Amino acid sequence: MGDRSLLGPADLDDTTLRGVVADLLGHPTEEVAVGPVSVERVAYDVPALTTVARWWVSGTARTPDGEESWRVFVKHVQAWRHSAFFAHVPEPVREVAAAGYPWRNEAAAYRSDLRDRLPAGLTMPRALAVVDLDPDPCPESWVAWLEDVTRPAVPWDRARYERAAYLLGRLAGSPAVAPLAGVGGFDWSIAHYVTGRLRFQVLPALADDALWAHPAVAAAFGDLREELLAATVDVDVVAAELDAAGTAPSHGDACPANLLPGPEAGSFTVIDLGFWQPQPLGFDLTQLVAGALQLGVAPPVPLPELSAACVAAYAEGLAAEGRPGLHEMVRRHHAMLLWLFAGVSAVPFEQLGSPPESLAATCALRADLARHSLDLLAADV
Protein backbone atom coordinates (compact mmCIF):
# COMPACT_ATOMS: atom_id res chain seq x y z
CA MET A 1 0.00 0.00 0.00
CA GLY A 2 1.32 3.43 -0.91
CA ASP A 3 0.39 6.86 -2.24
CA ARG A 4 -0.30 8.08 -5.77
CA SER A 5 3.38 8.09 -6.66
CA LEU A 6 3.04 4.31 -7.18
CA LEU A 7 0.93 5.03 -10.25
CA GLY A 8 3.75 6.81 -12.06
CA PRO A 9 2.54 8.14 -15.43
CA ALA A 10 -0.85 6.47 -14.89
CA ASP A 11 -1.76 9.05 -12.23
CA LEU A 12 -4.25 11.85 -12.91
CA ASP A 13 -3.82 15.50 -12.12
CA ASP A 14 -5.69 16.72 -9.04
CA THR A 15 -8.48 18.37 -11.02
CA THR A 16 -9.20 15.29 -13.13
CA LEU A 17 -9.06 13.01 -10.07
CA ARG A 18 -11.57 15.25 -8.31
CA GLY A 19 -13.90 14.92 -11.30
CA VAL A 20 -13.49 11.13 -11.32
CA VAL A 21 -14.36 10.84 -7.62
CA ALA A 22 -17.30 13.21 -7.99
CA ASP A 23 -18.65 11.23 -10.94
CA LEU A 24 -18.25 7.96 -9.06
CA LEU A 25 -20.07 9.25 -5.98
CA GLY A 26 -22.73 11.11 -7.95
CA HIS A 27 -22.05 14.70 -6.90
CA PRO A 28 -21.15 17.92 -8.74
CA THR A 29 -17.38 18.26 -9.02
CA GLU A 30 -17.32 21.63 -7.28
CA GLU A 31 -18.97 20.10 -4.20
CA VAL A 32 -16.37 17.36 -3.71
CA ALA A 33 -13.01 17.58 -1.93
CA VAL A 34 -10.72 14.56 -2.25
CA GLY A 35 -8.87 13.50 0.89
CA PRO A 36 -5.80 11.26 1.24
CA VAL A 37 -5.47 8.56 -1.44
CA SER A 38 -4.08 5.02 -1.08
CA VAL A 39 -2.74 2.90 -3.91
CA GLU A 40 -2.30 -0.89 -3.93
CA ARG A 41 -0.80 -2.77 -6.86
CA VAL A 42 -2.88 -5.78 -7.95
CA ALA A 43 -0.97 -9.03 -8.23
CA TYR A 44 -1.91 -11.07 -11.31
CA ASP A 45 -0.75 -14.64 -11.98
CA VAL A 46 -1.52 -14.79 -15.70
CA PRO A 47 1.12 -13.11 -17.94
CA ALA A 48 -0.27 -10.19 -19.95
CA LEU A 49 1.23 -9.00 -23.21
CA THR A 50 -0.06 -5.44 -23.06
CA THR A 51 -1.07 -4.67 -19.47
CA VAL A 52 1.68 -2.76 -17.70
CA ALA A 53 0.04 -2.79 -14.26
CA ARG A 54 -3.22 -2.75 -12.35
CA TRP A 55 -3.98 -0.92 -9.11
CA TRP A 56 -6.72 -0.40 -6.57
CA VAL A 57 -6.94 3.31 -5.79
CA SER A 58 -9.06 4.30 -2.81
CA GLY A 59 -9.69 7.12 -0.39
CA THR A 60 -12.27 9.38 1.17
CA ALA A 61 -13.94 12.54 -0.05
CA ARG A 62 -15.91 15.33 1.57
CA THR A 63 -19.27 15.60 -0.21
CA PRO A 64 -22.71 17.14 0.40
CA ASP A 65 -23.59 13.84 2.13
CA GLY A 66 -20.61 14.03 4.46
CA GLU A 67 -17.41 12.01 4.24
CA GLU A 68 -17.69 9.14 1.74
CA SER A 69 -15.31 6.31 0.90
CA TRP A 70 -14.49 5.43 -2.69
CA ARG A 71 -12.45 2.86 -4.62
CA VAL A 72 -11.60 2.50 -8.32
CA PHE A 73 -9.64 0.07 -10.47
CA VAL A 74 -6.85 1.53 -12.60
CA LYS A 75 -5.41 -0.28 -15.60
CA HIS A 76 -2.37 0.78 -17.64
CA VAL A 77 -2.09 -0.73 -21.15
CA GLN A 78 0.65 -0.36 -23.74
CA ALA A 79 1.35 -1.62 -27.25
CA TRP A 80 2.79 -5.14 -27.35
CA ARG A 81 6.00 -3.92 -28.97
CA HIS A 82 6.94 -2.29 -25.64
CA SER A 83 6.38 -5.46 -23.59
CA ALA A 84 9.25 -7.56 -22.27
CA PHE A 85 7.59 -10.56 -23.97
CA PHE A 86 8.17 -8.96 -27.37
CA ALA A 87 11.89 -9.74 -27.12
CA HIS A 88 11.03 -13.41 -27.73
CA VAL A 89 9.39 -12.67 -31.08
CA PRO A 90 11.69 -13.61 -34.02
CA GLU A 91 13.11 -10.51 -35.69
CA PRO A 92 11.71 -11.27 -39.20
CA VAL A 93 8.10 -11.22 -37.95
CA ARG A 94 8.22 -8.47 -35.34
CA GLU A 95 6.46 -5.82 -37.39
CA VAL A 96 3.69 -8.24 -38.34
CA ALA A 97 3.40 -9.39 -34.72
CA ALA A 98 3.28 -5.83 -33.39
CA ALA A 99 0.54 -4.88 -35.83
CA GLY A 100 -1.43 -8.03 -35.03
CA TYR A 101 -2.32 -7.28 -31.41
CA PRO A 102 -5.31 -5.00 -30.71
CA TRP A 103 -4.05 -2.99 -27.76
CA ARG A 104 -6.32 0.01 -28.51
CA ASN A 105 -9.63 -1.87 -28.71
CA GLU A 106 -10.43 -1.86 -25.01
CA ALA A 107 -9.90 1.89 -24.66
CA ALA A 108 -12.21 2.46 -27.63
CA ALA A 109 -14.87 0.23 -26.08
CA TYR A 110 -14.71 2.10 -22.77
CA ARG A 111 -14.93 5.47 -24.53
CA SER A 112 -18.07 4.37 -26.41
CA ASP A 113 -21.62 3.89 -25.15
CA LEU A 114 -21.30 0.09 -25.39
CA ARG A 115 -22.26 -0.27 -21.74
CA ASP A 116 -25.68 1.25 -22.47
CA ARG A 117 -26.25 -1.03 -25.48
CA LEU A 118 -25.49 -4.42 -23.91
CA PRO A 119 -28.40 -6.87 -23.69
CA ALA A 120 -30.13 -7.29 -20.33
CA GLY A 121 -28.03 -9.58 -18.17
CA LEU A 122 -24.70 -8.14 -19.31
CA THR A 123 -22.93 -5.03 -18.09
CA MET A 124 -19.39 -3.69 -17.98
CA PRO A 125 -17.47 -1.41 -15.63
CA ARG A 126 -18.27 2.27 -15.95
CA ALA A 127 -15.25 4.14 -17.30
CA LEU A 128 -14.60 7.23 -15.19
CA ALA A 129 -11.56 8.29 -17.21
CA VAL A 130 -9.72 6.88 -20.23
CA VAL A 131 -6.53 8.80 -20.95
CA ASP A 132 -3.93 8.45 -23.70
CA LEU A 133 -0.54 8.92 -22.06
CA ASP A 134 2.16 11.19 -23.43
CA PRO A 135 4.70 9.50 -25.75
CA ASP A 136 7.45 10.34 -23.29
CA PRO A 137 7.84 8.34 -21.07
CA CYS A 138 4.98 6.05 -22.18
CA PRO A 139 4.81 5.57 -25.96
CA GLU A 140 1.66 3.97 -27.34
CA SER A 141 -0.03 3.72 -23.97
CA TRP A 142 -3.32 4.47 -22.23
CA VAL A 143 -4.81 4.22 -18.76
CA ALA A 144 -8.41 3.60 -17.65
CA TRP A 145 -9.96 4.48 -14.29
CA LEU A 146 -12.92 2.14 -13.78
CA GLU A 147 -15.61 1.66 -11.17
CA ASP A 148 -15.15 -1.21 -8.70
CA VAL A 149 -17.31 -4.16 -9.84
CA THR A 150 -16.12 -6.64 -7.21
CA ARG A 151 -18.86 -9.01 -6.03
CA PRO A 152 -18.88 -12.42 -4.29
CA ALA A 153 -17.77 -15.27 -6.54
CA VAL A 154 -20.37 -17.59 -8.05
CA PRO A 155 -19.55 -21.26 -8.84
CA TRP A 156 -19.31 -22.14 -12.52
CA ASP A 157 -21.65 -25.11 -12.88
CA ARG A 158 -23.29 -26.23 -16.12
CA ALA A 159 -26.22 -23.84 -15.64
CA ARG A 160 -23.90 -20.87 -15.30
CA TYR A 161 -22.02 -21.83 -18.47
CA GLU A 162 -25.32 -22.11 -20.32
CA ARG A 163 -26.47 -18.73 -19.03
CA ALA A 164 -23.20 -17.14 -20.12
CA ALA A 165 -23.45 -18.76 -23.57
CA TYR A 166 -27.03 -17.54 -23.97
CA LEU A 167 -26.04 -13.95 -23.15
CA LEU A 168 -23.00 -14.13 -25.44
CA GLY A 169 -25.37 -15.23 -28.19
CA ARG A 170 -27.58 -12.23 -27.46
CA LEU A 171 -24.50 -10.02 -27.54
CA ALA A 172 -23.55 -11.36 -30.97
CA GLY A 173 -27.06 -10.96 -32.32
CA SER A 174 -27.93 -7.60 -30.79
CA PRO A 175 -28.87 -4.89 -33.32
CA ALA A 176 -28.05 -2.27 -30.68
CA VAL A 177 -24.51 -3.59 -30.16
CA ALA A 178 -23.76 -4.25 -33.85
CA PRO A 179 -22.71 -0.65 -34.73
CA LEU A 180 -19.96 -0.86 -32.09
CA ALA A 181 -18.61 -4.29 -33.05
CA GLY A 182 -15.58 -2.71 -34.72
CA VAL A 183 -15.26 0.39 -32.58
CA GLY A 184 -11.53 -0.22 -32.13
CA GLY A 185 -10.92 -0.05 -35.88
CA PHE A 186 -8.59 -3.05 -35.74
CA ASP A 187 -7.97 -4.92 -39.00
CA TRP A 188 -7.80 -8.63 -38.15
CA SER A 189 -8.95 -12.01 -39.47
CA ILE A 190 -8.76 -15.68 -38.56
CA ALA A 191 -6.14 -16.04 -41.30
CA HIS A 192 -3.97 -13.50 -39.45
CA TYR A 193 -3.96 -15.81 -36.43
CA VAL A 194 -3.02 -18.82 -38.55
CA THR A 195 -0.17 -17.05 -40.37
CA GLY A 196 1.01 -15.50 -37.11
CA ARG A 197 0.84 -17.54 -33.91
CA LEU A 198 0.16 -20.93 -35.48
CA ARG A 199 2.73 -20.84 -38.29
CA PHE A 200 5.52 -19.16 -36.34
CA GLN A 201 5.07 -20.68 -32.89
CA VAL A 202 2.65 -23.58 -32.50
CA LEU A 203 3.18 -25.63 -35.66
CA PRO A 204 7.01 -25.57 -35.41
CA ALA A 205 6.71 -26.76 -31.81
CA LEU A 206 4.46 -29.65 -32.86
CA ALA A 207 6.97 -30.67 -35.54
CA ASP A 208 9.72 -31.16 -32.93
CA ASP A 209 10.23 -34.83 -31.97
CA ALA A 210 11.68 -33.72 -28.62
CA LEU A 211 8.29 -32.31 -27.60
CA TRP A 212 6.53 -35.63 -28.10
CA ALA A 213 9.34 -37.49 -26.32
CA HIS A 214 8.85 -35.47 -23.12
CA PRO A 215 7.49 -37.94 -20.51
CA ALA A 216 4.45 -35.85 -19.54
CA VAL A 217 3.53 -35.13 -23.15
CA ALA A 218 4.08 -38.73 -24.24
CA ALA A 219 1.90 -40.05 -21.40
CA ALA A 220 -1.04 -37.74 -22.13
CA PHE A 221 -0.80 -37.06 -25.87
CA GLY A 222 1.01 -40.08 -27.28
CA ASP A 223 -2.04 -41.59 -28.96
CA LEU A 224 -3.07 -38.19 -30.36
CA ARG A 225 0.13 -37.20 -32.14
CA GLU A 226 -0.67 -38.47 -35.63
CA GLU A 227 -4.27 -37.22 -35.55
CA LEU A 228 -3.23 -33.80 -34.26
CA LEU A 229 -0.55 -33.36 -36.89
CA ALA A 230 -2.81 -34.62 -39.69
CA ALA A 231 -5.49 -32.09 -38.78
CA THR A 232 -3.04 -29.18 -38.95
CA VAL A 233 -2.82 -29.63 -42.72
CA ASP A 234 -6.25 -28.03 -43.07
CA VAL A 235 -5.78 -24.94 -40.87
CA ASP A 236 -5.77 -22.58 -43.86
CA VAL A 237 -8.93 -24.14 -45.29
CA VAL A 238 -10.72 -23.83 -41.95
CA ALA A 239 -9.57 -20.22 -41.53
CA ALA A 240 -10.75 -19.33 -45.04
CA GLU A 241 -14.24 -20.69 -44.38
CA LEU A 242 -14.53 -18.79 -41.12
CA ASP A 243 -13.30 -15.55 -42.66
CA ALA A 244 -15.90 -15.87 -45.41
CA ALA A 245 -18.73 -16.47 -42.94
CA GLY A 246 -19.42 -12.89 -41.89
CA THR A 247 -18.98 -11.42 -38.43
CA ALA A 248 -20.88 -10.30 -35.35
CA PRO A 249 -20.00 -8.49 -32.10
CA SER A 250 -17.67 -10.56 -29.93
CA HIS A 251 -16.03 -10.09 -26.54
CA GLY A 252 -13.03 -11.92 -27.98
CA ASP A 253 -11.81 -13.48 -24.71
CA ALA A 254 -15.00 -14.61 -22.97
CA CYS A 255 -13.39 -17.02 -20.51
CA PRO A 256 -15.04 -17.40 -17.09
CA ALA A 257 -12.38 -15.16 -15.52
CA ASN A 258 -13.59 -12.28 -17.72
CA LEU A 259 -17.28 -12.84 -16.93
CA LEU A 260 -17.61 -11.62 -13.37
CA PRO A 261 -20.83 -11.87 -11.34
CA GLY A 262 -23.19 -9.06 -12.27
CA PRO A 263 -25.45 -6.93 -10.07
CA GLU A 264 -28.42 -9.32 -10.36
CA ALA A 265 -28.67 -13.10 -10.14
CA GLY A 266 -27.79 -14.69 -13.47
CA SER A 267 -26.10 -11.55 -14.78
CA PHE A 268 -22.46 -10.96 -15.73
CA THR A 269 -20.04 -8.05 -15.74
CA VAL A 270 -17.70 -8.36 -18.72
CA ILE A 271 -14.12 -7.18 -18.25
CA ASP A 272 -10.83 -7.26 -20.21
CA LEU A 273 -12.22 -6.11 -23.56
CA GLY A 274 -8.86 -6.03 -25.31
CA PHE A 275 -10.07 -8.38 -28.05
CA TRP A 276 -13.45 -6.73 -28.53
CA GLN A 277 -13.98 -6.85 -32.29
CA PRO A 278 -16.15 -8.47 -35.00
CA GLN A 279 -15.78 -12.26 -35.18
CA PRO A 280 -17.62 -15.23 -36.75
CA LEU A 281 -20.73 -16.38 -34.91
CA GLY A 282 -19.77 -18.72 -32.09
CA PHE A 283 -16.30 -17.24 -31.56
CA ASP A 284 -16.85 -16.53 -27.86
CA LEU A 285 -17.73 -20.15 -27.15
CA THR A 286 -14.09 -21.24 -27.51
CA GLN A 287 -12.82 -19.29 -24.51
CA LEU A 288 -16.02 -19.90 -22.59
CA VAL A 289 -15.57 -23.68 -22.90
CA ALA A 290 -11.77 -23.89 -22.85
CA GLY A 291 -10.54 -20.81 -21.00
CA ALA A 292 -10.66 -22.14 -17.43
CA LEU A 293 -9.35 -25.54 -18.53
CA GLN A 294 -6.32 -23.89 -20.15
CA LEU A 295 -5.53 -22.43 -16.72
CA GLY A 296 -5.76 -25.84 -15.05
CA VAL A 297 -9.41 -25.85 -13.91
CA ALA A 298 -11.40 -28.93 -14.91
CA PRO A 299 -14.86 -28.28 -16.40
CA PRO A 300 -17.92 -29.05 -14.24
CA VAL A 301 -19.19 -31.64 -16.75
CA PRO A 302 -17.45 -33.59 -19.56
CA LEU A 303 -16.34 -31.38 -22.44
CA PRO A 304 -18.71 -32.89 -25.05
CA GLU A 305 -21.67 -32.19 -22.78
CA LEU A 306 -20.43 -28.67 -22.00
CA SER A 307 -19.83 -27.79 -25.66
CA ALA A 308 -23.24 -29.06 -26.77
CA ALA A 309 -25.03 -27.20 -23.99
CA CYS A 310 -23.20 -23.94 -24.72
CA VAL A 311 -23.78 -24.18 -28.48
CA ALA A 312 -27.52 -24.67 -27.91
CA ALA A 313 -27.72 -21.80 -25.42
CA TYR A 314 -25.76 -19.45 -27.70
CA ALA A 315 -28.12 -20.24 -30.59
CA GLU A 316 -31.06 -19.50 -28.29
CA GLY A 317 -29.50 -16.15 -27.49
CA LEU A 318 -29.22 -15.35 -31.20
CA ALA A 319 -32.87 -16.31 -31.69
CA ALA A 320 -33.89 -14.01 -28.83
CA GLU A 321 -32.30 -11.15 -30.80
CA GLY A 322 -34.22 -12.00 -33.97
CA ARG A 323 -31.74 -14.44 -35.55
CA PRO A 324 -33.33 -17.91 -35.30
CA GLY A 325 -32.34 -21.13 -37.05
CA LEU A 326 -28.57 -20.78 -36.63
CA HIS A 327 -27.84 -23.74 -34.35
CA GLU A 328 -26.13 -25.81 -37.04
CA MET A 329 -23.99 -22.87 -38.16
CA VAL A 330 -22.94 -22.15 -34.57
CA ARG A 331 -22.10 -25.82 -34.00
CA ARG A 332 -19.93 -25.95 -37.13
CA HIS A 333 -18.19 -22.68 -36.30
CA HIS A 334 -17.58 -23.85 -32.73
CA ALA A 335 -15.93 -27.03 -33.98
CA MET A 336 -13.59 -25.09 -36.25
CA LEU A 337 -12.85 -22.29 -33.78
CA LEU A 338 -12.23 -24.58 -30.82
CA TRP A 339 -9.78 -26.52 -32.97
CA LEU A 340 -7.89 -23.48 -34.27
CA PHE A 341 -7.72 -21.51 -31.02
CA ALA A 342 -7.44 -24.29 -28.43
CA GLY A 343 -7.02 -27.75 -29.95
CA VAL A 344 -4.01 -27.06 -32.17
CA SER A 345 -2.16 -25.44 -29.27
CA ALA A 346 -3.35 -27.87 -26.58
CA VAL A 347 0.09 -29.48 -26.10
CA PRO A 348 1.59 -27.21 -23.40
CA PHE A 349 5.03 -26.78 -24.99
CA GLU A 350 5.47 -23.45 -23.23
CA GLN A 351 5.07 -25.07 -19.79
CA LEU A 352 7.53 -27.97 -20.00
CA GLY A 353 9.65 -26.46 -17.24
CA SER A 354 6.79 -26.69 -14.72
CA PRO A 355 7.03 -29.07 -11.74
CA PRO A 356 6.34 -32.66 -12.89
CA GLU A 357 3.12 -33.12 -10.89
CA SER A 358 1.48 -29.90 -12.11
CA LEU A 359 2.71 -30.51 -15.66
CA ALA A 360 1.18 -33.99 -15.67
CA ALA A 361 -2.16 -32.56 -14.50
CA THR A 362 -2.00 -29.83 -17.15
CA CYS A 363 -1.21 -32.35 -19.88
CA ALA A 364 -4.12 -34.57 -18.84
CA LEU A 365 -6.60 -31.68 -19.05
CA ARG A 366 -5.12 -30.38 -22.30
CA ALA A 367 -5.21 -33.85 -23.88
CA ASP A 368 -8.93 -34.06 -23.11
CA LEU A 369 -9.34 -30.69 -24.82
CA ALA A 370 -7.35 -31.80 -27.87
CA ARG A 371 -9.31 -35.05 -28.12
CA HIS A 372 -12.63 -33.22 -27.84
CA SER A 373 -11.70 -30.63 -30.45
CA LEU A 374 -10.59 -33.35 -32.85
CA ASP A 375 -13.85 -35.23 -32.31
CA LEU A 376 -15.88 -32.07 -33.03
CA LEU A 377 -13.80 -31.36 -36.11
CA ALA A 378 -14.34 -34.88 -37.46
CA ALA A 379 -18.09 -34.77 -36.78
CA ASP A 380 -18.94 -31.27 -37.97
CA VAL A 381 -16.37 -30.24 -40.56
Q: Please give the pLDDT value at position 381.
A: 66
Give this prediction's pTM.
Answer: 0.94
Average pLDDT score over the chain: 94
Q: Does the structure show a pLDDT above 80 at 380?
A: no
Q: Specify the higher pLDDT residue, 99 or 236.
A: 236
Mean pLDDT of 8-12: 94
User: For 11-27, how does the pLDDT look when each residue is reduced to its tens digit (9 = 90+)?
Assistant: 999 999 999 999 999 99
pLDDT for 15 equals 96
Residues 101 and 105: their CA atoms lie apart, in Å, by 9
SS3 content of the chain, % helix, strand, coil (to 5): 50, 15, 35
Give CA–CA dist 165/307, Å, rounded.
10
If one counts every other C-beta atom within 10 angstroms of the C-beta of residue 381, the result is 15
Start-to-end Cα distance in the chain: 53
Please answer whether residues 24 and 128 qualify as being in contact, where contact means their C-beta atoms are separated by less than 8 angstroms: yes
Q: Which of 68-72, 165-169, 350-354 has the lowest mean pLDDT?
A: 350-354
Give the neighbor-by-neighbor strand order of the sheet with 51-63.
33-41, 51-63, 66-78, 141-147, 127-132
Provide the pLDDT for residue 238.
95
Taking the C-alpha atoms of 357, 43, 287 and 344 in order, what is their torsion angle to the nearest 10 degrees?
A: -50
Whole-angstrom CA distances from 117 to 105, 114, 172 are 17, 5, 12
pLDDT, one tens digit per residue, over 45-96 is: 777 788 899 999 999 999 999 999 999 999 999 988 888 778 777 777 777 7
> pLDDT tens digits for 283-317?
999 999 999 999 999 999 999 999 999 999 999 99
Number of H helices, E strands in the chain: 15, 8
For the cut 90, the answer to whether the pLDDT of residue 227 exceeds it is yes
Burial tier of 112 (Cβ tally within 10 Å: 0-12, 13-18, 19+): middle
Query: Are 140 and 78 spatial neighbours (Cβ–Cβ below 8 Å)?
Result: yes
Sorted by where each starts, the structural domains of the chain and their CATH numbers stand as 4-144 (no CATH), 152-380 (3.90.1200)
